[in-house]
A and B are shown apart, each in its own frame.
Chain A
Amino acid sequence: MSQGISTAHSVVEPTSGTRWFAGVVVALYALVTIIPLAWIIMTGFKTPADAISYPPKVVFSPSVEGYCNLFTTRSRQTPEYIASLPPANGTCEQIAREQKMVVAGPSNFVPRFTNSLIIAFGSTLLSVGFGVMAAYAFSRFKVPLKDDLLFFILSTRMMPPIAVAIPIYLMYRELGLSDTRLGMILLYSAVNVSLAVWLLKGFIDEIPREYEEAAMVDGYTRLQAFRKVVLPQATTGIVATAIFCLIFAWNEYAFAVLLTSGEAQTAPPFIPIIIGEGGMDWPAVAAGTTLFLVPILIFTVLLRKHLLRGITFGAVRK
């Protein structure tokens, strides 16, 4: 008081100045990460001409041409033929006609997107499923050479998975797993399971053994105790791990290019090579990218509550 220092604020809480500064930093960072995203979404609604105009257009008249081109294939026709057709039904047909084209049929986007969904969620399920069981075993049982095994599991992540692409390619060709969904599910699960074991072991270590022991003296087998007591307690960890696994499998590009070409091709290798007339169809690529973001966004938002708690590893206990 004698020095005129304000004692009104708490010494452990940040001051309003600090808060303001932190807010600005966060806002700047958000801006930097959001601009490319916003650009992609905008491009999806541009016409091909607007998309490649220079200087880039920030204000433009929106069009769904990109989305139409993403979902359909079109063929060019003579003006006489187009004039002879009955009036266009549907927006996409209309847009096509304006460019002297007709919609020939659906594109491969939906099957590729479906592949992505099946492969990403399938492999996430497998890696988290195996991961949680292995993590439980490592956490609770005397496993011979436990530390060496855990190190070995981690060591599979010490090089980029693509470094072993050639042996895997040859192996998959022999086994008939090339360009199959099963092959991709197994591959992504194999890569993710090491991460899952390590993450989940941390979470399960935090759950006191007494919970299972209480269930076991109360008449449950170990497996039942695991299901009814350990799994619900580990939800946070399972969710956090699932999101990491899903993001990896969903975005994986290198293996997808190498091992899938038709039947089992996922969206990442498909989207960037959508070709329009006379070059890349950027609005269609941007539209595909926008849609590609949606599932992860939904998944993450739905599980956000668990994720925020789970991401602060180790601090799971309230």
Chain B
Amino acid sequence: MAEIRVQNLHKAFAEFTAVKDSTFTVNDGEFFCLLGPSGCGKTTTLRMIAGLELPTSGEIYLGRENVTFKRASARDIAFVFQMFALYPHMTVRQNIAFPLVSQGMPRAEIRERVAQAAKTLHITAMLDQSVSGLTSGDRQRVALGRAIVRQPMAFMMDEPLGALDTEFREIMCAELRALHDRLSATTVYVTHDQREAMSMADKIAIMNQGVIEQLGAPQEIYERPATVFVADFMGSPSMNFIPTTAALARGETTLNIGTAKLPLSAVCDDVSTRSLLYGVRPEHVRLTDDSVFRAEVVGVEYLGNCQIITLNTAAGSTVRAKVDVGVHAARGDQVGLTFDAGEVTLFDQASGRAIPTARDDVPMSLVGTRVAAHG
């Protein structure tokens, strides 16, 4: 196992730039997710690390070694493809043994290693079957088997669960993470599914149009999004953005929207007059009657364990609230909304970036304590 360091990685296809100036480090044994919408350059990044694509500029280190222009076959990285890429003309056993055969490993050892991998993945019974008869879940396991049997320096996985149905995907998610914990294998995992990323990753990189927008632990990314894109992409339903134009002095803890004064963590620097977005997640919106920030209920979705209430504010923006099923709301109700300063992120609309506030000075590791203190 080894750490992977990617520095100023850039990839252009003719005029189109797929990856822009990417820099990140995947620590030894870490489960790293590249998350982003379709076409944002995730696969391209992964393929460059694996050596299936050469970067236009930038460097890739595997452990201490610069592998930027090394052949894929010389990198000792395993790759799991979305469509599994199992060879239909070989049995399960031959598929799993295929990478070992290239190393010229003695037959007895190959048998041993294949048996070991098969046991880990519970596919021993199907070793001598042809791969064409397998269900997609079993194919997935065989593809994983072919990756782990090599005991490579790192694993690359490109949406390995994309071909599975929802129910099975959740099972495989858990299995994959358990497998990772057992092997403590450095893994780069590509997905466009935020739930997969949140549930599995130690660290997530959110990509948008070839750029890494934010890098951090799942909780950090969710609770302290660095950009409007990240805030909007993560969470379902996504974050509410209430637009306004204002200037803020350093240390200011409220923002005027209409007649209401909405709470903020103290801003770290003076903010000159500009368009701002007051961002708050639906689960942090509370419905109260005494608030002066008024809104009208325009829709209620009952989801069993919670309900999503859609509201139109007096200023004309739409806010969604995720509330307990016990809260009574009906279309046409006039309600007041309240927010907690600690749950609010303020964005500069022009740059799309979050405006630093006192909240960001609290290390993420202490956030849990803060929540506990509230509760």
Q: Which A positions have Cβ atoms within 8 angstroms of B?
A: 208, 210-211, 213-221, 224, 229, 232-233, 235, 318
Contact = CB atoms under 8 A, between A and B. Distances in A.
A219 B77 CA distance: 9
Contacts of A232: 87, 89
Q: Helix, strand, loop or mixed for chain A's interface?
A: helix
Contacts of A217: 50-52, 72-73, 75, 77-79, 156
Contacts of B192: none
A220 B73 contact: yes
B87 A229 contact: yes
Nearest to A229: B87
Contacts of B79: 213-214, 217
Nearest to B150: A218
B87 A216 contact: no
Nearest to A218: B99
A37 B158 CA distance: 57
Nearest to A232: B89
Contact of A218 (B71, B83, B98, B132): B98
A229 B94 CA distance: 12
B103 interface: yes
Contacts of B83: 208, 210
Contact of A213 (B75, B85, B150): B85
Given A216-B52, A217-B77, A318-B132, A211 B85 contact: yes
Nearest to A224: B102
B146 interface: yes
Contact of B72 (A208, A213, A235): A213
Interface in B36-80: 50-52, 71-73, 75, 77-79
Contacts of B98: 215, 218
B88 interface: yes
Nearest to B158: A210
Contacts of A233: 87-89
Given A210-B83, A318-B132, A218 B146 contact: yes
B339 interface: no
Nearest to B80: A214
Interface of B: 50-52, 71-73, 75, 77-79, 81, 83, 85, 87-89, 98-99, 102-103, 132, 146, 150, 156
A218 B98 CA distance: 8
B286 to A, nearest CB: 49
A216 B89 contact: no
B365 to A, nearest CB: 37
A210 to B, nearest CB: 4
A226 to B, nearest CB: 13
A316 to B, nearest CB: 11
Candidate in B71, B72, B81, B99 with the most chain A CB atoms within 10 angstroms: B72
A134 to B, nearest CB: 23
A221 B75 CA distance: 12
Nearest to A233: B89
B2 to A, nearest CB: 16
Contacts of B87: 211, 214, 229, 232-233
A219 B99 contact: yes
A210 B85 contact: yes
A213 B71 CA distance: 11
B265 to A, nearest CB: 47
A215 B81 CA distance: 12
B52 A219 contact: no
A233 B85 CA distance: 12
A214 B89 contact: no
B85 A218 contact: no
Given A218-B73, A220-B73, A220-B102, A213 B89 contact: no
Of B77, B88, B102, B132, most buried by chain A (CB within 10 Å of CB) is B102
5 contacts: A214-B87, A217-B79, A218-B99, A224-B102, A233-B87
